[in-house]
Amino acid sequence: MRIATILAALLAASPAAAATGPFFSLHNTDFIVLLAFILFVVVLIYFGVPGMIGGMLDKRADQIKAELDEAKSLREEAQALLASYERKHKEVQAQADRIVATAKTEAAEAATQAKKDLEVSIARRLAAAEDQIASAEASAVKEVRDQAVVIAVAAAREVIAGQVKAADANKMIDDAIDTVSAKLH
């Protein structure tokens, strides 16, 4: 059926203007080419070339379908893997945010504690400085008093030496010795 359709289509075609004379003559090149073409098509059909080409095309179509199916499955795997990585990325980002928040909180607490420690240290140093100042002041007052006592004793000695006579001095010394003896015993 196919061969008859092909032959009818070939015979219905108008001959080319290059040939002269009757169409169905062996001297007409168009007719020779037509016969060669028909013979070629018959040989192809006889040896099953259209079936082989169809089989090859079917085989290629099956390969393409298999490749498409594999590509589809690979795409689905890639999407699943991407979703997994995105989920892990979100988890890691959340964990990093928690770590940063914790670090900020700890840093703030450490700064507050350091401020308290600094205040305590300053208060302790101020107290130590005040104690040193008080000690130095007491020492200075004691030195001034001692110096005043020394000066007063020296002044009293001069005044007494100028006013007391030797007999009175001896009597005072004896009285002082008696008083010290009485207090010691």
Q: For residues 142 and 149, what is the distance between their CA atoms, to the nearest angstrom? A: 10
User: Coil, strand or helix: which one is 164?
Assistant: coil
26 token code pair: 């062996």
Distance (Å) of CA 100 to CA 48, 104, 106, 108, 111: 76, 6, 10, 12, 16
CB 40 within 8 A of CB 6: no
Res 4: pLDDT: 66
Res 16: pLDDT: 47
pTM here is: 0.39
Q: For residues 153 and 147, what is the distance between their CA atoms, to the nearest angstrom? A: 10
Could you state, in chain order, the average pLDDT of each consecutive group of 10 residues for the chain (185 residues)?
62 53 79 93 92 93 96 96 95 95 94 93 91 89 80 72 70 80 74
Kindly calculate the radius of gyration of the chain based on its CA atoms and give it in whole angstroms: 66
CB 172 within 8 A of CB 164: yes
Of residues 12, 30, 13, the one with CA closest to residue 21? 30
